[in-house]
Amino acid sequence: MIEIIEGIYKGRSEGKILVSINGVVFGIITDAESFSEFNEGDKILVYTKLIVSQEDMTIYGFDSKVKKETFEKLIKVSKLGPKTAIKILSSTTVDFLSNAIATGDVEKLSSIPGIGRKTAERMITELKDEFEVVEVNEEMLEAIEALVSLGYSKTQARNAVSKVLKESPNISNVSKIIKEALKILAKI
Amino acid sequence: MIEIIEGIYKGRSEGKILVSINGVVFGIITDAESFSEFNEGDKILVYTKLIVSQEDMTIYGFDSKVKKETFEKLIKVSKLGPKTAIKILSSTTVDFLSNAIATGDVEKLSSIPGIGRKTAERMITELKDEFEVVEVNEEMLEAIEALVSLGYSKTQARNAVSKVLKESPNISNVSKIIKEALKILAKI
Amino acid sequence: MIEIIEGIYKGRSEGKILVSINGVVFGIITDAESFSEFNEGDKILVYTKLIVSQEDMTIYGFDSKVKKETFEKLIKVSKLGPKTAIKILSSTTVDFLSNAIATGDVEKLSSIPGIGRKTAERMITELKDEFEVVEVNEEMLEAIEALVSLGYSKTQARNAVSKVLKESPNISNVSKIIKEALKILAKI
Amino acid sequence: MIEIIEGIYKGRSEGKILVSINGVVFGIITDAESFSEFNEGDKILVYTKLIVSQEDMTIYGFDSKVKKETFEKLIKVSKLGPKTAIKILSSTTVDFLSNAIATGDVEKLSSIPGIGRKTAERMITELKDEFEVVEVNEEMLEAIEALVSLGYSKTQARNAVSKVLKESPNISNVSKIIKEALKILAKI
C-alpha cells in the first residue's frame, strides 16, 4: 500500500531509520547498510513495504527498489520472516544472493549469516525462477571486502571501488583497485 | 474510509499505479485500462476502496466513480475476490457488464475472461437488482473493438469514437466511424 | 485514535460525508442530521471515532462532541452496533435520548426507530449511570416538530427556534414561537 | 511504526492529549504527568507508540524518549497491559521504577499504585537485565514530594527543585531546597 516515503532523515535507533514527513516521524526497519552514510537533516527516499498482522503494523524500507523487491521475494519463502530477511540483506549484497539462488548453490547461500542449510534449500526450491545470474565483478567484490576489513563501511567501500572502475574501466588488478579506492576514501 | 486520492501520478508497477501525496507514494491496484494514458507528473484523481484484512491493507482505485461502485458490487458476490474483480474490469466495460448482469445473460457474462459459468450464475443471482440495462451503441462498441485490434488502447479508441459521435451524432455506419476516429488518433 | 478531522466538505454519498484533507478524501459515516446544511467547499470540523475490526477500518463522525460521546456510549451496549447507533441518532435528539435513558423510560425509548423493547431495556440497564436528565423545553420541541412537519430540516427548525428563544426568552406560547421562527426561516 | 508526532497541543480529554497535525487531531493516551504544563496552541513533540490489535488502533505517547522506552519494556511483561503501564508511569518516576527493578526491590515496587506483589515479582524476573541503577538524589525526591503535598504538580515541583540544585549544587538540606523552590514557584 505504501510504496515509497520521501522525507527528512532524523537518525537511526535500534535497527530503524527515523523519517519525518509533515510532523509525523516514521520508524522504518531497514538493513544494516541502507542509508548508513546519511546525516540527520538529509532528504531521504525510502522504498517501503507495509506489513500488517493481527498484532502490529510495521514498515520495512530500503535504499533501492531492487533490494525492496528482493526482500518481498525472501519473505514469501515458508518459515522465512521479515526479521530473517533483514538479517540476510544486512549480511550480503543482492547480487551475491541472486547468483547463489539462481545457480542453486546451497554452500554459497548457507555461508550467509542467518541462512542454515534447510533455509538455503527452501530458498532455492521456492525462489529459483525469480532470480537471474548477475554478472559479478570478482575483483570488485574482493576489493570491497578488503576495504571493509580496513574498517570502511560496505557502502563507502562499494562507492569508492565503483568510482575507480568507472574512471579506469580496464583496471583489473585487485591491489591496484584497492590503492586507487583508498585515495578516494582519504578525501572523504 | 478513503474514498478519493488526489496526487501526482508516478508511473505504474506490477498492476499498481503509484500516486504521490505529501511525500508518501501509495501503490493503488487498478484495472488495466484506468489511467493507461497518464504520464509521470500528471495530476491524478483516483476513486479508491481500502480493503483491510487480518494480513494486509490494500487500496484499489479506478478512474471513475461508477467503475469503483461496480468493483464494490462485484466483491460482494460470494467466492469473487478483489483480484478476480480487477481481472473482470480489465477485460470488459462497465456498460457491457451491467447489461449482461441486468439481462441475466450467462453466455455473455461467461464470455468475459475471469468469469466461468458458475461465477456468472452467482453474479446474476446476487447482483441482478443492482444493475440496470444501459443503452449501448453497438456500432460504437464495434468501432472501438476494431481500433483496439489496430493496436490502440481501449481508452484511446473510446475517446476518439466518442468524439466522432459527438461531432456527427447522425453517423451510424461503423466503417465511417472508424475512418473519422483514425483521423483524430493520427493527430495524437 | 483520530478524534477530530478538519477539512473541506465535498458532499454526501450513501450515508457518508466526504471530507478532503491534503489530497485524501475521507468517507465518514454520520447521522442523517449532522452537516445536513453544509455546501460543497465549506470548511468542516468533524468529531470522529475510528473503529477497527478484523475486516475493516471505518470512521464515524458527528457535528458535536456530545453526539460523538453519545455514539461511543451506545456502541458499548451489548448487541448494539455502530449501524444501529447511527440509525438511533438519525431519528432523535441527544437530549431526548438522554432523558429517556436517565429516567429509565422504556416506552419513550422504544418509540425511537431502531430501538425495540429488548434493546431499550438493555440500554437502560447498561447506560443508566452514564446519562443525566436534561432540562428539555417541551414548547421548543413541539415548535421544532411542527416546523419539520412543514418541510424544514431538523437543524433549520432547531436553529430558528433557538434564535427566537434567545431574542425573546419569555415567549412560551408554541404557536407564537412557530410564527417568529417562520419569519427567520423565510429570510434564509 | 509511528515514533514521534509533532503538532499543536489542543488540550486534554479523558486521559488523552489532543494533538493536531494538518487537519487531523490525534487522541494520544499518556501518563498523568506528561505535558501537564501545556497550554492549548503550544507546539508539542510526543514520543509515540502505535499499538494495533484485532479490535483497535491506539497511540500512546510520552514527553521523553526514556519514558516511552520504559513503557515499551513494561508492556512486554506478561499480564501487564498498556493501561496498567500508564497507571504505573502516572504514579512514579522512571528513575524510581528503574532502581526498584534493577535492585529487585519487591517492597519498593509494590508500593507503586497499580503494582501488586505478583506483578512486582514478574516485573523483576522479566525486566531485571533491562534496567540499571540510577543515582537518585534522595533529598531531591523528598523536596519534590513535599511540594506535591503542598498542591504543586509533580512537573512544577521537579522543575523548581532541579533549578535550585543547578543554581546551588552544594545545597543538601531538604527544607532549604523546599524554601528556595517555593520562591521560584511563587514567580510562576
3-state secondary structure (DSSP) of residue B17? strand
Count Cβ neighbours within 10 Å for each residue of A160-181 and write b for 16 or more, e otherwise. Answer: bbeebbeeeeeeeebeebbebb
Q: Does residue C137 have a pLDDT over 80?
A: no
Rounded to a whole number of angstroms, the CA Rg of chain B reads 18
CA of D56: which chain C residue's CA is closest? C52
Predicted confidence band of residue A187 (pLDDT cuts 50, 70, 90): confident
Name residue D45's beta-bridge partners: D6
Residues 6+ away with beta carbon under 8 Å from D18: C3, C4, D9, D10, D11, D12, D25, D26, D27, D28
Q: Which residues of B touch A46 (CB under 8 A)?
A: none
Question: Is residue D55 pLDDT above 80, yes or no?
Answer: no
**Which residues in chain B touch residue A22, judged by CB atoms under 8 angstroms apart?**
22-23
- Residue range(s) in chain A whose domain bears CATH number 1.10.150.20: 66-130
Q: Calculate ∠ Cα C87-C93-C99, nearest 5°.
A: 110
Reduce the DSSP state of residue A38 to 3 states and report it. Answer: coil
Chains that touch B (3 or more CB pairs under 8 A): A, C
The pLDDT value recorded for residue B169 is 81
Q: How would residue A101 be classed by pLDDT, with cut points 50, 70 and 90?
A: very high
Crossing angle for the helix pair C94-102 and C65-74, to the nearest 10 degrees: 40
The bridge status of strand C57-62 relative to strand D24-29 is unpaired
- Cα of A58 to nearest chain B Cα, Å: 11
User: Please, where in chain A does CATH 2.40.50.140 lie?
Assistant: 4-62
D21–A contact, CB cutoff 8 A:
yes
Residues of A in contact with B54 (CB under 8 A): 53-54
Yes or no: say if C8 and C44 are a contact pair by the CB < 8 Å rule. yes
Alpha carbons B106 and B123: distance in angstroms, whole number? 9
Residue D167 CA to its chain's centroid (Å):
24
Domain with CATH 1.10.8.10 in chain B: 138-186
- Name the segment(s) of chain D with CATH classification 1.10.150.20: 65-130
Distances (CA, A) of C117 to C70, C77, C103: 20, 14, 15
* Whole-number Å distance between alpha carbons of A170 and A177: 10
Kindly tell me if the per-residue pLDDT of D135 is higher than 80.
no
Q: Does the CA dihedral B1-B2-B4-B6 come out positive or negative?
A: positive
Q: Which residue has the cell 492529549?
A: D17
Looking at beta carbons, which residues of chain C come within 8 Å of D59? 1
CB contact under 8 A, D24 and C2: yes
Residue D170 confidence (pLDDT): 80
Nearest CA to CA, how far is B10 from chain C (Å)?
15
Minimal CA separation from D56 to chain C, in Å: 5
* Minimum mean pLDDT range among A150-159, B111-120, D92-101: A150-159
Which of D24, D27, D56 lies closest to C52 in CB terms? D56
Residue B23 near chain C (CB below 8 Å):
no
C172 by DSSP, 3-state: which?
Answer: coil
Q: Which fold has domain A138-186?
A: Helicase, Ruva Protein; domain 3 (1.10.8)
3-class SS at C150? coil
Closest residue, chain B, to C28 (C-alpha): B1
3-state secondary structure (DSSP) of residue C6 = strand
Q: Hey, is A25 helix, strand or coil?
A: strand
Question: Looking at CA atoms only, how far is residue B23 from chain A in angstroms?
Answer: 5
Question: Which triple of cell numbers denotes residue A52?
Answer: 500488517
Q: Radius of gyration (Cα) for chain D, nearest Å?
A: 18
Q: Residue D142 pLDDT > 90, yes or no?
A: no
Q: What is the pLDDT of residue B37?
A: 84
Q: Report, as an integer, the average pLDDT of D119-143.
A: 88
- Is B2's CB within 8 Å of C24's CB? yes
Residue of B nearest to C61 (CA): B1
- Residue B30, pLDDT > 80, answer yes
Q: CB burial class (10 A; 0-12, 13-18, 19+) of residue C126?
A: middle
Cβ distance of C7 and D13 shorter than 8 Å: no
Q: What is the pLDDT of residue C53?
A: 81
Q: How many CB atoms lie within 10 A of CB B110?
A: 17
3-state SS of chain D: helix, strand, coil percent to 5?
45, 20, 30
- What is the Cα–Cα distance from C92 to C112, expressed in whole angstroms? 7
Contact criterion met (CB below 8 Å) for C87 and C113? yes
Backbone dihedral angles phi then psi of residue B156, each to the nearest 5 degrees: -55, -50
What is the distance between the alpha carbons of residues B3 and B19, in angstroms, rounded to a whole number? 14
CA dihedral angle for residue C16, residue C22, residue C24, residue C29, rounded to 10 degrees: -20
The whole-number pLDDT of residue D53 equals 81
pLDDT band at residue C130, thresholds of 50, 70 and 90?
A: very high
Any B CB within 8 A of C13 CB = yes
Give me the sign of the Cα torsion angle B18, B19, B20, B26.
Answer: negative
Q: Quick check: A188 pLDDT over 80?
A: no
Distance in Å, alpha carbon of B122 to nearest chain C alpha carbon: 23
Nearest residue of D to residue A60, measured between CA atoms: D1
Sign of CA dihedral C6, C7, C9, C14: negative
CA-nearest residue to B19 within chain A is A3
Give, as one character, the DSSP assignment of residue B187.
T
At the top level of CATH, the class of B65-130 is mainly alpha
DSSP state of B162: H
Residue C172 neighbours by CB under 8 Å, 6+ apart: C139
Asked if A3 and B27 touch (Cβ cutoff 8 Å), the reply is yes
CB C60 within 8 A of CB C86: yes
- Subunit contact A24:D4, Cβ cutoff 8 A: yes
- d(CA B157, CA B150) in angstroms, rounded, equals 10
Least reliable range by pLDDT among A115-124, C39-48, C165-174: C165-174
What global pTM score does this model have?
0.81
pLDDT per residue over D160-171, tens digit each? 998 998 888 888
Arithmetic mean of pLDDT over chain C: 91
Integer Cα distance of B49 and B28 in angstroms: 9
Sole residue written with cell 465518514: C28
Average pLDDT over residues A36-44: 93
What's the ipTM? 0.79
The fold of A66-130 is: DNA polymerase; domain 1 (1.10.150)
Q: Which amino acid is at D11?
A: G
Residue D1, chain C, CB below 8 Å: the answer is: no
C63-111 pLDDT per residue, tens = 999 999 999 999 999 999 999 999 999 988 898 899 999 999 999 999 9
**Distance from C-alpha of C112 to C-alpha of C116, rounded to nearest angstrom:** 8
What single string gives the DSSP state of each residue in C96-112? Answer: HHHHHHHTT-HHHHHTS
Element holding D100 (H helix, E strand): helix D94-102
| The CATH fold of domain D4-62 | OB fold (Dihydrolipoamide Acetyltransferase, E2P) (2.40.50)
Q: Are C17 and C35 in contact (CB under 8 A)?
A: yes
CATH 1.10.8.10 region(s) of chain C? Answer: 138-187
Which of C1, C5, C25, C26 to mutate to probe the B interface, most B CBs <10 Å? Answer: C25
pLDDT (average), residues A135-145: 82
Cβ proximity of B26 and A2 under 8 Å: yes
SS3 string, B19-83, reads EEECCEEEEEECCCCCCCCCCCCCEEEEEEEEEECCCCEEEEEECCHHHHHHHHHHCCCCCCCHH
Neighbouring CB atoms inside 10 A of D97's CB total 25
Q: Does D66 touch chain A (CB under 8 A)?
A: no
Size of chain D, expressed as the number of residues it contains: 188
What's the whole-number mean pLDDT along residues B12-24?
93
Q: b/e per residue, C75-100, with b = 16+ CB within 10 A?
A: bebeebebebbbebbbbbbbbbbbbb
Taking the mean position of all CA atoms in its chain, how far away is CA C121? Answer: 21
Say if B8 is an interface residue toward chain A (CB within 8 Å): no
In chain A, the residue whose alpha carbon lies closest to the alpha carbon of B27 is A1
Nearest chain C residue to B26, by CA: C24
- Looking at domain C138-187, its CATH class is mainly alpha
Neighbour tally for A103: CB within 10 Å: 13
> Strand, helix or coil at B163?
helix
Strand D43-52 relative to strand D57-62, pairing: antiparallel
**For A56-91, what is each residue's pLDDT tens digit?**
889 999 999 999 999 999 999 999 999 999 999 998
